[in-house]
Amino acid sequence: MPEGLDPVEAGRKLHEHGHGDDEPAAGRDADKTAERHSRILQTGEALLLALVTIAAAWAGFAAAKWGTASQVDIAQSSTLRNLATRADLESTFEAWFTAFLLGSKQKEAIAIRRFRPDFRAAFDAWMATNPLHNPKAPPGPTYMPQYSLPQQATANALDAEASVKFARGTRDGVISDDYIRITVFLAAVLFLVGIGSTFKLHQIRYGLITFGTVLLIVAVVLIFHEPGLPG
């Protein structure tokens, strides 16, 4: 009698064969999903790196330009202050006073000849008050009503311009500092993208890309709120 096929054994064989087909299919689907996530993550990280690099380059360049502008304005302010002081002191009669203390009439005459006409008028009026013997005499020609200083207007103008330059230099320095702070945000994005590639879990890398994108948006908004390059 020919040996027949055991129904139980046949069922087991069919069951094993069916599972053998399902497992490779499930594995292939998982590999495709992982590959798709990997491509998305790599594309997102590359795009984020490109945008951050451009933004960081612009912010760093702007910070350097504003820093230079600040230094130039403050240096010009210092120069104008010196010119203002020089113009303000140009009409002193220290040369005459020194000659007077030395008792040199010749040097006194030379100093008097070098006085400007308007200062000479104030000097003569002051000498008429007998300052050597009159304790109520004004301290010097500059205290006389006849005294006028043509350079005073120039000195005041230079001083005002120096104040404007200094204020502008201070503002330029603040703008430079703001751009430097923006580069810190962008550096944080680079750090997040850099460490993200070390993680195997896609969820962590997605989270880091999202957080980096938020920081990039904040940095770009801050850049647009700052003035452009100095003129």
**Among 123, 117, 121, 119, CA closest to 138:** 123
pLDDT bucket at 30, cuts 50 / 70 / 90? low
Per-residue pLDDT reduced to its tens digit, 136-169: 888 888 788 887 666 666 777 777 888 888 888 8
Helices (H), 89-149: 94-102, 105-113, 117-128
Per-residue pLDDT at 104: 85
Q: How far is CA 56 from CA 11, 23, 143, in A?
A: 67, 49, 61
pLDDT of residue 5: 47
* Selected residue with higher pLDDT from 167 and 33: 167
Q: What span, in angstroms and rounded, lies between the C-alpha atoms of 148 and 151?
A: 9
Examine the pLDDT at 174 and tell me if it is beyond 60.
yes
Report d(CA 200, CA 195) in Å as an integer: 11
Q: Residue 76's pLDDT band (boundaries 50, 70, 90)?
A: confident
Residue 69: burial class (beta carbons within 10 Å; 0-12, 13-18, 19+): buried
With beta carbons less than 8 A apart as the criterion, state whether 187 and 56 touch. yes
Of the two residues 189 and 41, the one the predictor is more confident about is 189
Task: Give the pTM.
Answer: 0.57
The mean pLDDT of the chain is 78
